[in-house]
Chains A and B, each alone.
Chain A
């Protein structure tokens, strides 16, 4: 793999950037792989990378029906945090957080992970209780999270309306200072490049149309473009389309696919360096390095696969943003879009074995998958390598919906997951 650095840039500028290597090959698929990963989004690519790097399994293909990182990987609002409530989720997201730290150096690709802090504002006594509970739990879990009062918050975020005149005056906030943002495209591309360098075949424009299953065991997948590709193990990481692939394999998942929208303003001079989330007013916002205000909207109440949502959701979201940041009323919204999120009833993901032997699913990340990308890939690689889940992933088995051992993160997740 060609090493990227400032010096490298300078060197290549002397030859007019004509000699950069390809970031990844464009291979023709082999007939058989040790592991096939369906889905070339962030999670799938991270899975492939860790399979190759940590488990030495390099005879791996990632099959992507469109282009790499073209789904939710490039549609999210790029928030990374690990301050979840329950021990199981805290362990999962903190595992991910620790992989985020140093990821740019590990991949030799600047994923621009900026730990500028994520704030959850509290507007009611119940908000305060919930956040104090979260902070107390996180402290024992070894995860940084702290409360700040409204006065301190106003100092840290001058543009946020912390006054008593707000509709729901802010009483305080919890803040995870290690949390922040990363550059979403770079994460997918960085993992793709590193996986490719380790020998993983990244096959774009390759759609899986059926599963090859006999005696309750998967032996490969059928693709639209290349026919049957054999594999010892198959991992499915396709977010919104998880239900469709599960159906091919003959079982149902406890997930619903909904459109989730996001929007950006025009680029303006940065006035907000952190992420601010309000579960009560139902808005959250950060500002990108380009200057766009990046705003997450809610999910549509109904299910669907169209990557666009209802206008009413946009109206409600912007109401919340202007209420929180009155200075944005004359700022203009540039663009909105939607992604399809696969949500579990308990707002926690599934990293699991399935009723089909050697077929594994990693899905159900719902509205909050981006932050989980490294951890998800890392743990799922373990699952695919060992044929059984990593201890951190164990509680996230599909079985939990049978036993009732749910990990209900609606409180910590809110709309702003």
Chain B
């Protein structure tokens, strides 16, 4: 294919570097410097999409972020597919593969288009709310048809091969947009010595200057741009970010920038580079120099390919050397629209007419057109376009002075391109993100940024200032103001001279009338992507959807991927007219992040795959792996679950591990338990307030178990705390609850009791913990220490600072199995060495490693709870039968005291923790099962409680379970039933949860 619309010279493309790309399976050529859109236009591609609702053919309308139609699927391989890429924002690279997303069999010849044509009238806004209701049973079928038509592009089916990252940035001045205003602001701020970040979504800086033939200081404006960028590049404290969209403006001048680092190079990022990067910026001051988007006019059949906005036509000619047609009709409400005709004529193609909706407007641009002899039709409008897949002609008619009515006769003109300009809408999106409401300006004919609490300045097009000279001056002023605000001196900047053109007043006109009423005229599109028409908006208003948010939601206006950049103001104007209100009375919808869409991958940066919640390993992890342990996820930790030996089932492993502990000695890696170092003169008092039991008298060298309750009195964590010194304790928490407990302590200290002198430090991974437990554990410990660990010298619930295997160790004589136990804590670096010594020395005592599952069985045999498993936020210590762990004698009170003493918490028949013995000793009740008193009783059966822990106990030769039963502590010996999902019922007897060694003799030996 030849590039029939490419000019032989001009533009910012590199004709010496041709690039090949594919669109819908066909190869085309473009040049370096093209966007995908400009290359498609160069090749004369008219239809780039089928519309969402009516399947109408659509072409390229704009040249930037506001483009609603040219939304394509990109990607040469399955893994690199990217849905919904705007062709106007995608730089061309060699080998780019693109495809349109809708239309069957093809976007050019689409069967659905016929249905859209015929059924379109049946699809007014909200039609789906009014139908598909009968019969009710068919909704699933209707919906599956609707879903078949849903979506634009598609997600890849494979894993993303690219990587992403994020950087935190700080600066004095963050400048958004590198057009004339932004560059002037950046130059000023940089010369003044400020730390500056300037970001622009395009591939190069310059903004509107890149699209025009404008001159500064008598030279092409792009020369000035180049000089400024060169100078800015020399400052160490200035960060220039092209291809970087400031997507969100959050409270306290926090902004997010989405930088596309490699999307212009290839399908997949080159080796060792990240595809995209998020900059998370905290700026002292922000200068918004975001410019403006041109508004198309709304007229009949304005979506036929070939209908564009005037600024885009100029940009394609001046920047890309592409004239997107042969015969142009311009329709404009303002002077700027004339520029497209001038540029078109300069490119040597035919300007059929400039249709100006105003009568006798005189500005420098209008006069230039007149002098060129271009055909200007004043006081008129293009009321309708002919053509389906490309414009073939237009109907022009006179307008009444207000623009509300068509007057006079209709003239038909032959043309293949219609460029319209309804004026410009300042890009106020970012200024709205922080909650600032925009303000309508009659003179600008657009919304301007509203008052804000952010440290924010604005310059140029965003203020409705479209003349380059003014934009430059506003940029300079913003730069100087920012310098002053951050305490720097005025900078020395002389602005280049820009020619100031005389501009006639624009006409406030959005919706071009037709000979027929709007409801009967051919479709006049307001929002292309969501197929919202002027008639649709009128219907919404007529039906009572009068608030602009209602209009938006009922019609779907602005819900597309362009978020209504092109259509929203027009839609508001149509609604205002229908409601007989002004635009400011009608109000505006709220702009929210993102300004343009961002890949999920970019938002999460490195926190994917192996770096998503990285796995935490103990110092002995390698040993567990080598032993073939199965692992359990507990919090972020990988904990050995059990250690299967060859040929063993899981139950067999557990039985072996359990019996080893009961009869010999077992070893558990308990390093993951949360450990918090608590110090300060009020540490003891603090413990007394956060635990339900008493701590005043815990002596140095002693350990104590404690329950932690929420304000509601319900248990949420537990653990043993040891007294290391008068003002020094080490607290242990559950593995999964460690972070929450640490936060809990800090919250209470910082917000409720700041007067207490106490300090917390999380020391979980400072220590490695090997628990040896079982009748042989003392003998084993004696092998590795000179310390006298006899029962007389080292009592149950003592801790000692001793040497184990030659390493200083804190050894706690506490027990979670009911057996004689020692928890040996050593500095984590020694963890593996001490563990291996224990393993070696333990061989002759039958030392057996066991995992969390065996730990759970052993503690359940003893009736010890696991917080989180045997508690659920609804049980207090008394419900757990642990009233012994509550002290009501404490002078200050404690968290949860009031909660657990409320009337409902002290009533009879609360759910209480009990043991459950199945009638058939071999049956293990599934955890989670619900108890009932009579499985054959009337439905619904009242739930008496549930099973929280349930195991086979090899030690006891029968199953054991812990669970909750209403009033259970008073129902010992009674029978309850557990109906299962398969229809069977398990019968069980309520008993004490302490199944083994009820007097606790074994741990005391």
Contact = CB atoms under 8 A, between A and B. Distances in A.
A267 B151 contact: yes
B627 interface: no
B75 to A, nearest CB: 8
Given A133-B928, A335-B592, A289 B150 contact: yes
Interface stretch (A139-147, A232-240, A366-374): A139-147
A8 B127 CA distance: 10
Interface string A8-33: 11101100111011111110000000
B77 to A, nearest CB: 11
Contact of B869 (A10, A129, A319, A333): A129
A270 B128 CA distance: 18
Given A137-B946, A289-B143, A404-B905, A267 B150 contact: yes
Interface string A99-143: 000101100111011100000000111100111111111011110
Contacts of A8: 130-131
A67 B547 contact: yes
Contacts of B542: 18, 20, 22
Contacts of A20: 539, 542-543
B561 A267 contact: yes
A268 B154 contact: yes
Contacts of A10: 122
A125 B130 contact: no
Contacts of B556: 290
Contacts of A183: 129
Contact of B83 (A124, A130, A268, A323): A268
Q: Which of A113, A322, A337 has the most CB of B within 10 A?
A: A322
Interface string A320-338: 0111001111111111110
A134 B433 CA distance: 41
Given A291-B150, A334-B563, A204 B129 contact: no
B933 to A, nearest CB: 12
A129 B597 CA distance: 39
A70 B547 contact: yes
A132 B928 contact: yes
Contact of B139 (A12, A114, A133): A114
Given A17-B124, A189-B129, A306-B251, A318 B83 contact: no
A66 B546 CA distance: 12
Contacts of A152: none
Given A26-B546, A67-B547, A140 B633 contact: no
A410 B160 CA distance: 34
B816 interface: no
Contacts of B124: 9, 12-13, 17
Interface residues of B, number: 114
B932 A330 contact: no
A362 B915 CA distance: 40
B600 A321 contact: yes
B904 A404 contact: yes
A225 interface: no
Interface residues on A, range: 35 or more
Contact of A314 (B131, B134, B162, B603): B603
Contacts of B82: 330, 332
Given A110-B131, A136-B928, A139-B981, A323 B608 contact: yes
Contact of A140 (B139, B593, B940): B940
Interface in A382-417: 400, 402-406, 408, 410-411
Contacts of A98: none
Interface in B829-843: none
A135 B929 CA distance: 9
B646 interface: no
Contact of A265 (B156, B600, B939): B600
A323 B607 CA distance: 9
B151 A268 contact: yes
> Which of A25, A327, A332, A405 has the largest number of chain B CB atoms within 10 A?
A332
Given A22-B542, A135-B928, A311-B280, A333 B83 contact: no
B160 A9 contact: no
Contact of B929 (A13, A136, A189): A136
Contacts of B632: 124-125
Contacts of B600: 265, 318, 321-322, 328-333
Interface centre among B130, B519, B561, B904 (most CB of A within 10 A): B130
Nearest to A328: B600
Interface string A265-308: 11111110100000000000000111100000000000000111
A74 B550 CA distance: 10
B604 A319 contact: yes
B940 A142 contact: yes
Contacts of A126: 736, 868-869
A189 B981 CA distance: 40
A323 B612 contact: yes
Nearest to A113: B139
Nearest to A312: B280
Nearest to B593: A336
A146 B903 CA distance: 36
B520 A16 contact: yes
Contact of B927 (A22, A132, A271): A132
Contact of B158 (A136, A137, A269, A327): A327
Contact of A336 (B156, B160, B594, B902): B594
Given A6-B131, A140-B930, A408-B874, A135 B122 contact: no
B302 interface: no
B413 interface: no
Nearest to A10: B122
A406 B904 CA distance: 9
B608 A322 contact: yes
B122 A23 contact: no
A330 B519 contact: no
B155 A268 contact: yes
Nearest to A115: B140
Interface in B86-124: 121-122, 124
Contacts of B519: 16-18
Given A24-B544, A319-B612, A271 B256 contact: no
Given A142-B940, A189-B129, A334 B561 contact: yes
A326 B154 contact: no
A411 B153 CA distance: 37
A87 interface: yes
Given A327-B158, A402-B902, A109 B129 contact: yes
B150 A290 contact: yes
Interface in A328-359: 328-337, 345-346
B943 interface: yes
Contact of B80 (A108, A186, A330, A334): A330
A155 interface: no
Nearest to B711: A345
Interface in B884-900: 899-900
A197 B553 CA distance: 22
Indicate the member of A66, A189, A334 with the most B CB atoms within 10 Å. Answer: A334
Interface of A: 4-6, 8-10, 12-13, 16-18, 20-26, 66-68, 70, 74, 87, 102, 104-105, 108-110, 112-114, 123-126, 129-137, 139-142, 146-147, 159, 167-168, 183, 185-186, 189-190, 204, 265-271, 273, 288-291, 306-308, 310-311, 314-315, 318-319, 321-323, 326-337, 345-346, 400, 402-406, 408, 410-411
28 contacts: A4-B133, A10-B122, A16-B121, A17-B535, A108-B133, A112-B128, A123-B633, A129-B948, A137-B946, A139-B979, A167-B615, A266-B84, A268-B84, A269-B154, A271-B154, A290-B556, A291-B147, A308-B435, A315-B605, A315-B607, A322-B601, A323-B608, A331-B155, A332-B84, A333-B603, A334-B594, A402-B902, A403-B903
> Which 7 interchain pairs have the tightest Cβ spacing?
A291-B151, A404-B902, A132-B928, A133-B928, A67-B547, A329-B160, A332-B597
Given A16-B520, A319-B612, A345-B711, 10 more contacts: A109-B129, A136-B930, A142-B940, A159-B155, A271-B154, A290-B556, A308-B433, A311-B256, A332-B84, A403-B904
